[in-house]
Amino acid sequence: MSQMNRRRALQLLAALGTTSLVAACGNDTDGETGAAKSPIKIGLITPQAGGLKTIGDEIANGFQLFLDLHEQRLGGHPVTLITADEGESAKTGKAAVDELLRQGVLALTGVVNSAVMLGIKDTVEQARVPLIGSNASPSTLQSVVYIWRTSYVLDEAGRALGGYLRDKLPAKARVAMIMPENVGAPDVVRGFRQEFGASDSRIADPVVWTTAAANPGKTAFTADIRTALNRRPSAVFCFFAGEAGVEFIKQLRNEGYRGPVYAPGFLTEGTALDSMRSDAANIQTALNYSADLNNAANRVFASAYRKKHNASPTTYAMASYDAAQVLHQAIDLAGDDPKPQEVNLALGKLGQIDSPRGIWQFNQPRTPQQKWYLRQVQRDGQVMSNVVVSELATLG
Q: What are phi and psi of 18, to 5 degrees?
A: -120, 20
Identify which of 302, 250, 242, 233 has the alpha carbon closest to the alpha carbon of residue 269: 242
Q: What is the pLDDT of residue 13?
A: 52
Sorting pLDDT into bands at 50, 70 and 90, what band is 236?
A: very high
Identify which of 317, 316, 312, 344 has the alpha carbon closest to the alpha carbon of residue 330: 344
- Average of per-residue pLDDT values in the chain: 91
Sorting pLDDT into bands at 50, 70 and 90, what band is 154?
A: confident
Give the DSSP letter string of 35-101: SPPPPEEEEEEE--SSTTHHHHHHHHHHHHHHHHTTTTEETTEEEEEEEEE-TTSHHHHHHHHHHHH
Q: Mean pLDDT across the stretch 123-129?
A: 98
Instruction: Please check whether residue 306 is in contact with residue 276, taking contact to mean a CB–CB distance below 8 angstroms.
Output: no
* Amino acid (1-letter code) at residue 385: S
Q: What are phi and psi of 120, to 5 degrees?
A: -100, 0
pLDDT tens-digit readout, 306-344: 999 999 999 999 999 999 999 999 999 999 999 999 999
Q: What is the pLDDT of residue 5?
A: 46
Instruction: Please check whether residue 92 is in contact with residue 35, taking contact to mean a CB–CB distance below 8 angstroms.
Output: no
Distance CA 138, CA 1 (A): 35
3-state secondary structure 149-187: ECCCCHHHHHHHHHHHHHHHCCCCCCEEEEEECCCCHHH
Q: Mean pLDDT across the stretch 190-203?
A: 97
Specify the pairing of strand 77-85 against strand 40-46. Answer: parallel
Q: Mean pLDDT across the stretch 378-384?
A: 84
Distance CA 35, CA 184 (A): 46
Q: What are phi and psi of 73, to 5 degrees?
A: -130, 150
* Amino acid (1-letter code) at residue 254: N
Q: What is the pLDDT of residue 206?
A: 97
Collect all residues with Cβ–Cβ distance below 8 Å to 51 and sequence separation of at least 6: 213, 214, 215, 242, 243, 244
- Judged against a pLDDT cut of 50, whether residue 166 lies above it is answered with yes
Distance CA 282, CA 379 (A): 9
Q: What is the pLDDT of residue 35?
A: 63
- Judged against a pLDDT cut of 60, whether residue 387 lies above it is answered with yes
The secondary structure of the chain in percent helix, strand, coil, rounded to multiples of 5, reads 45, 20, 35
Sorting pLDDT into bands at 50, 70 and 90, what band is 29?
A: very low
| Side-chain-facing half-sphere of 199: CA atoms under 13 Å | 0
Q: What is the pLDDT of residue 383?
A: 82
Q: What is the DSSP letter of 381?
A: T
Q: What is the DSSP letter of 391?
A: E
pLDDT tens-digit readout, 254-297: 999 999 999 999 999 988 999 999 999 999 999 999 999 999 99
For CA atoms 257, 260, 265, 269, the dihedral sign is positive
Q: Rounded to 10 degrees, what is the CA torsion of 301, 304, 305, 309?
A: 180
- Judged against a pLDDT cut of 70, whether residue 228 lies above it is answered with yes
Distance CA 173, CA 159 (A): 19
Beta bridge partners of 85: 46
Quick check: helix, strand or coil at residue 269?
coil
pLDDT tens-digit readout, 73-90: 999 999 999 999 999 999
Specify the pairing of strand 361-362 against strand 175-180. Answer: unpaired
Distance CA 182, CA 24 (A): 39
pLDDT tens-digit readout, 95-110: 999 999 999 999 999 9
- Judged against a pLDDT cut of 70, whether residue 21 lies above it is answered with no
